[in-house]
Amino acid sequence: MNHYDNVLILSKNDNYFLASGLLALIQVLLGPDARIRTSDDFSAAGISEADIIVMNSPSLLLYLCHPNFRFRKPDSVIISLHNKQADICNQDLPFCFNDVIILRRDETLGTMLARLAQRLTKPHASFVYSPLSCMNCKCRRLSRSQLQIVRYLQLGYSIQCIARIKGVSVKTVYAHKYRLMEKLDARGDAELNQFINLLAPDGPPVNSISNGDIKLI
C-alpha cells in the first residue's frame, strides 16, 4: 500500500469491539490524516476496490477457492483473524491467499502493530493474477455432492432428511460428510458447522449448486 489518503477496508465482523480495535490499529499505522472507509461487499467489484481485506474465519476457509479474490488490487493486503495460533503454511494456501497476514486475537497490541507495520508501511511483493495462476493452485475444491450436503446442513436438514431428499442411504450421506471434513481439516462437527455458518445464507437452490457458489461472508 502506497497511498493512505483514501483507504478502503473490506470486512464483515459481528464482533463490534474486535472490528473497532483492528480499525484503530490500522489508523495508528497509517497516521491520523489517513481517510479510512469500510465496506462488507465481498463481491468481485467490492474486492477489486479494497485496499485491506479482513477475513474473520476459521483457517480451513482459507484453503478453498474464492474466485472473487482474483480481482484483488496488486498492492492489497489480506488479514485473517484467528482465536489461536493457526497451523497455516502460506506456501500451502491457494494462490490468492498465499500472502495473507495471520493474526491471533490473543496477541499483544505491540505484536500486532509490528506485524501489520511490515506490510502496511513497507513495500512488498505485488499480487498479480493471470489465468496461469490457477493451473498449479493448491486450493481444495468441493464436489457438487459435497456442496449440496453443505447447503442442506446450512438449511438445518438432518442427515436422515438429506438421505431421503437425495434418494441415497444415510451411510452415503455420512461418507460425503466425512470426506468433506477431511478435505477441510475440520476436526469435528463444531469446526464443520463454523464453516457452514460462514456461507452466504441466500445461496442458490441446492440442486443448482456449483463450485463457484461458495461465498465468503
Report domain extents, the chain.
7-134, 144-213
Domains 7-134 and 144-213 belong to one CATH topology: no
Q: The domain 144-213: what is its CATH number?
A: 1.10.10
- What are the pLDDT tens digits along the chain (217 aa)? 545 578 999 987 666 777 788 888 888 888 888 899 999 898 889 999 999 999 876 676 787 788 889 999 998 999 988 766 556 777 778 888 888 888 887 788 888 888 888 888 777 778 888 888 888 787 877 778 888 888 888 888 899 999 999 899 999 999 999 888 887 777 788 878 877 766 544 444 445 444 444 443 3
DSSP 8-state code for residue 51: S
Q: Which of 175, 196, 199, 178 is nearest to 187 (CA)?
A: 178
Cβ atoms of 25 and 112 within 8 Å: the answer is yes
| Domain 7-134 classification at class level | alpha beta
For residue 133 the three cell numbers come to 495462476
The DSSP letter of residue 140 is: B
Entry pTM = 0.70
